[in-house]
Amino acid sequence: MPANQELNRKKLLAVASGGGHWVELLRLGRAWIDCETVFVTVNQAYSADVPNHRFYSICDATRETRIRLLRATMKLIWIICRERPDVIISTGAAPGYIAIRIGKLVGAKTVWLDSIANAEELSMSGTMAGRYADLWLTQWPHLADENGPHFRGAVL
């Protein structure tokens, strides 16, 4: 890639919990092929899924594990301040919500895509993140609303 194009590439921070959240995030990769993508998730072994990309692992945390949630938050603050992403995207759960909140504070554009597993109602993280995300999406048409989340298709 020519140097001037390299300078114009957007930096995207892709954040997800493990399991299905991670799988869905990876399936979106073609959408940001022209971006400099940095990945954050809860399992160091997932780094093998994204060779040739910067990768960070954080501790897995939920609202029930408050100390771990605080540790994950502190590391996400460090990662976001270090990487200075233009865009943050997440498929959930808690780490994505935290990243969206921090991202808004530093001026990043934010995208939340609620997991396809949430077929009957939006996830708690998704509901909370929707208030802060620049683009709030669901993968189920019947969960879409004119004020968000919006339906643009499903990943899986």
CATH of the domain at 74: 3.40.50.2000
Domain extent, residue 73, equals: 3-151
User: Tens of pLDDT along 41-89?
Assistant: 999 999 999 999 999 999 999 888 999 999 999 999 999 999 999 999 9
Q: According to the model, what pLDDT value does residue 151 have? A: 93
CA atoms of 4 and 6, how far apart (whole Å)? 5
User: Tens of pLDDT along 86-96?
Assistant: 999 999 999 99
Q: Does 84 reside within a domain?
A: yes
Q: Does 68 reside within a domain?
A: yes
pTM, full prediction: 0.92
- Regarding beta strands 109-113 and 54-57, do their DSSP bridges make them parallel or antiparallel, or are they unpaired? unpaired
Q: Does 156 reside within a domain?
A: no
User: Tens of pLDDT along 139-148?
Assistant: 999 999 999 8
Q: Does 87 reside within a domain?
A: yes
Residue 69 to residues 9, 18, 21, 99, 149, Cα–Cα distance (Å): 32, 15, 18, 12, 25
Q: What is the number of domains present in the chain? A: 1
Average pLDDT of span 118-125? 86
Q: How many CB atoms lie within 10 A of CB 116?
A: 17
